Structure 1
């Protein structure tokens, strides 16, 4: 368990230091984290609403931060190129996210063209029915995307790495609230890029350890 928790902290720290330099991205992650927690609460009473919140608010804000606001140039703080960071990404890098988000975006069209979704659903009869069925598909896409990458990591890394990553993803809303709750304040002050003081302090601690 100690090794598992150490690996979890390492994955979480690497995710923060490599992929969250933009204050806009951090602020969007704060919004995403809060809405994910609302979605988690709805999972116990109405999973359909949880899926709608998760995809329409949580995932869109989260991924917009990565796609449109996170710097793609050379990372001087970590001395790494964008290409290198994309290559070593444990979870979904931008290329994999394009595939996942494309599946998400196209699934309502598939359901519209085939109301039974290959025989899985009773044909929808109203816009409300359509949205509820779309939400069920999105819930399956979310769970499927999580399980697919977890099992994929079993084979390309090891079982522990996959389980650690899955745990990280499921608990990210809690850690993101803690990490990025000040980001909107910094953003309002005109700070677009995190100066990385915590990264520098962490590096000095490692050097003296």
Structure 2
């Protein structure tokens, strides 16, 4: 277990220092983390609503921070190119995220254009029914995306790496609240880039 938690700490540290330099990105991660915690709570009440919160609020804020605000050039702090960081990324790097988000965006279009999906599910008749079908589809996508990459890591890395990554993803919302709760304050002070992400983590 000691090796497991050390590997978890390493994955978290690498993710933070490589991919969270922007204070805007950090602040968006804080919003994402809080809404993910709400989604976790809703999972026990209404899983479909939980999925809608997770994808429409949590994932959009989180990924927009990565795609639009995080510097993509040479990383002076870590002495690493963007290509190197993308290559060694354990979870979903930007390329894999494009694929995942493309599937996410295509699901509502498919359900709207082909109600019932050729008889696979019940045909929606109201906007509420369509919305709940979209939420259900996104719930399946979230679980599938988590399990797919975890099992994939079993084969390309090892079982521990996959289980550590899955644990990291599931606990990231709580960890991010602790890590980034001061990010909006830094933004208000006019600081757009965290020039020493290693120090912030420790």
Which interval holds the TM-score relative to the shorter structure?
A: over 0.9
Q: How does 1:82-101 map to 2 (within 5 A)?
A: 82-101=82-101
Cα distance in 2, alignment partners of residues 102 and 175 from structure 1: 27
Runs of 5+ unmatched residues, structure 2: none
Cα pair distance change 1:200/1:169, threshold 3 Å:
closer
Deviations 1:16-60 (A, max 9, x none): 011000000000000000000000000000001100000000000
1:75 paired residue number:
75
2:9 paired residue number:
9
Q: Which stretch has the larger CA shift, 22-31 or 117-126? A: 117-126
1:151 paired residue number:
151
Deviations 1:137-156 (A, max 9, x none): 00011111111111110111
Cα distance in 2, alignment partners of residues 21 and 146 from structure 1: 25
Deviations 1:65-114 (A, max 9, x none): 00000001111111000110001000000000000000000101111122
Please tell me the root mean square deviation across aligned C-alpha atoms, in Å: 1.3
TM-score scaled by length of structure 2: 0.97
Matched position secondary structure for 1:45:
coil
Cα distance in 1, alignment partners of residues 93 and 18 from structure 2: 12
1:59 paired residue number:
59
Instruction: Give yes or no for the alignment of 1:178 onto 2:168.
Output: no
Deviations 1:163-193 (A, max 9, x none): 0000000000000000000000001111000
Instruction: Give yes or no for the alignment of 1:193 onto 2:178.
Output: no
Cα distance in 2, alignment partners of residues 201 and 143 from structure 1: 28
Q: Report if the CA contact (8 A) 1:77-1:199 is conserved.
A: no
Distance apart, 1:118 and its partner CA? 4.2
Matched position secondary structure for 1:120:
coil
Matched position secondary structure for 1:14:
helix
Distance apart, 1:195 and its partner CA? 1.8
